[in-house]
Amino acid sequence: MDLNAWMEKYRAAVEAAFGSRVVCLGLQGSQARGEATPESDIDAVLVLDRLAPADLARYREAVCGLPCREKLCGFVGGKEELLGWEPGDLFALYSDTVPLVGDLEFLRPLAGPDAARRCVRNGACAIYHACVHDLLHERSPELLAGLQKAAFFALRAAWYCRTGRIVKQRRELAPLLPPAQRALLEGDPADLDGLGGRLLEWAGRTIRMGEGLDPDAAGRA
């Protein structure tokens, strides 16, 4: 699939449906980071001035004829709602989105270091809970691979806290990290107890002590 051609069709369909109400139209996820596989979804981002239930029906109708419609997912929401959103989630949205129409600059004041720290802690809490569940019950490499991806987002936010830089790709971030954190991104999800245990330990330390938020954490790990 030609992603650029697909996004152009998506843009035309959405702008025909919503016109000047489009605040930002963009792409996030593995497609935006250049890490997609043939199975990857297309994580489109659409922010309107505001969002009502009728807009969802209009959106469904606008995109129903697109090729590979089954791959389309992502974020659809309203600017007014985003201004009151959880800051940690705003940092993730702002840092992972490549705008194609408009921008997310209205989020910049809300997506700074404090939001990044919340992104790290929120991610650690979610990873901790899901790791315990997987190690006890599911025993699923697929679930663990998802937690490894969540660890990338949390570690990326921690790197921003230390350096002020947003790193887009996992393969770019991994060499910058201390060995213990790099192992979280490079481990094999089939190694359930090994990788799962390391993710659980990292998440627990982050929750207890704020590891990864401390500017000196990289030197200690």
As a whole number, mean pLDDT of residues 106-117 equals: 96
Q: How many domains does the chain have?
A: 2
CATH label of the domain that carries residue 78: 3.30.460.10
Distance from C-alpha of 127 to C-alpha of 151, rounded to nearest angstrom:
7
47 in the same domain as 36? yes
The last residue of a domain, from among 79, 110, 141: 110
Give 65-88 pLDDT, tens digit per residue. 999 999 999 999 999 999 999 999
108 or 210: which carries more pLDDT confidence? Answer: 108
Distance from C-alpha of 20 to C-alpha of 96, rounded to nearest angstrom:
24
141 in the same domain as 121? yes
pLDDT at 210: 72
96 in the same domain as 122? no
pLDDT at 221 over 90: no
65 in the same domain as 156? no
Confidence of residue 143 (pLDDT cuts 50, 70, 90): very high
Give 19-66 pLDDT, tens digit per residue. 999 999 999 999 999 999 989 999 999 999 999 999 999 999 999 999
174 in the same domain as 128? yes
40 in the same domain as 103? yes
51 in the same domain as 14? yes
136-140, 168-172, 208-212: range with lowest mean pLDDT:
208-212
117 in the same domain as 104? no
Domain that holds residue 21: 3-110
As a whole number, mean pLDDT of residues 175-198 equals: 96
- Cβ distance 157 to 124 under 8 Å? no
The last residue of a domain, from among 62, 90, 110: 110
Across the chain, mean pLDDT equals 93
pTM for the model stands at: 0.88
Report the candidate in 108, 83, 80, 82 with the shortest Cα–Cα distance to residue 94.
108
pLDDT at 220 over 50: no
**Burial environment of residue 110 by CB neighbours within 10 A (0 to 12, 13 to 18, 19 or more):** middle
pLDDT at 215 over 90: no
121 in the same domain as 84? no
pLDDT at 217 over 70: no
Cα–Cα separations (whole angstroms), residue 153 to 122, 124, 148: 11, 10, 9
The last residue of a domain, from among 110, 126, 161: 110
Q: Which amino acid is present at 47? A: V
24 or 212: which carries more pLDDT confidence? Answer: 24
pLDDT at 30: 93
105 in the same domain as 44? yes
141 in the same domain as 97? no
8-22, 109-123, 202-216: range with lowest mean pLDDT:
202-216
Confidence of residue 219 (pLDDT cuts 50, 70, 90): very low
151 in the same domain as 95? no
pLDDT at 137 over 50: yes
